[in-house]
Amino acid sequence: MPTKAALYARVSTRDKEQNPETQLLVLRDWAERQGLETTEYVDYASGKDLNRPAWQALTKDWRKGKIDVVVVLRLDRAFRSIVDMHNCFDEWEGRGIRFASITQPIDTGTATGKLMVNVLAAFAEFEREIASERIREGQARARKEGKKFGRAKIRLSPERAAKIIEKHDGNWSDAAEELSVSESTLRRRVKSLGVKPLVAI
């Protein structure tokens, strides 16, 4: 009976322009060389916790005994929290499930691999905490200097809105990128202005 592998890829919500196919191509090649039977799971979500649609689907499958090994490109594609990582590893160990991070490389089928996972996850969480501290310190300094926080308002006239949307042939995503705002923000602004672009959208 072939070994069943879960190929997991994740792209951050802040990096939606990235294509998870880049990760999957490497994972597929590795799995093929290992002779594994694969199922793919892809998330477009932050890695701050495990509350991600594809990860939740993967969790259900390994608990049903459908998965023998979980494969990712890098450890941070699956985990950002050492607590989440340890919880999963404890469960996987009890179920006889391996974890492989193929570019580091890490494989919990070996003692060295288990040690590497703990070391790398600890550093990942440490870096995240340091980054959070720097953000908080920066915000505190800014408040002392009287700076305000919040979303920047779009300076957008009806004429400019229509021209930008028409320039991109009705592609809201490209128009929003030019204005450095989200697509939903642009749609709300255009609606409030009562703009009707000439291009069908």
Distance of CA 176 to the CA centre of its chain: 21
Identify whether 12 is a catalytic site residue.
Answer: yes
At a CB cut-off of 8 Å and minimum separation 6, what does 201 contact? 165, 170, 172
Q: Are 129 and 110 in contact (CB under 8 A)?
A: no
Length of the chain: 201
CA distances from 77 to 5, 27, 43, 65 (A): 16, 12, 10, 22
Long-range contacts made by residues 173-176, C-beta under 8 angstroms, separation at least 24?
Answer: none
What span, in angstroms and rounded, lies between the C-alpha atoms of 57 and 61?
6
CB 43 within 8 A of CB 9: yes
In the sheet with 37-44, reading across from the earlier edge strand, the strands are: 37-44, 4-11, 69-72, 98-101, 106-107
Instruction: Write the DSSP symbol of residue 102.
Output: T
Catalytic residue set = 12
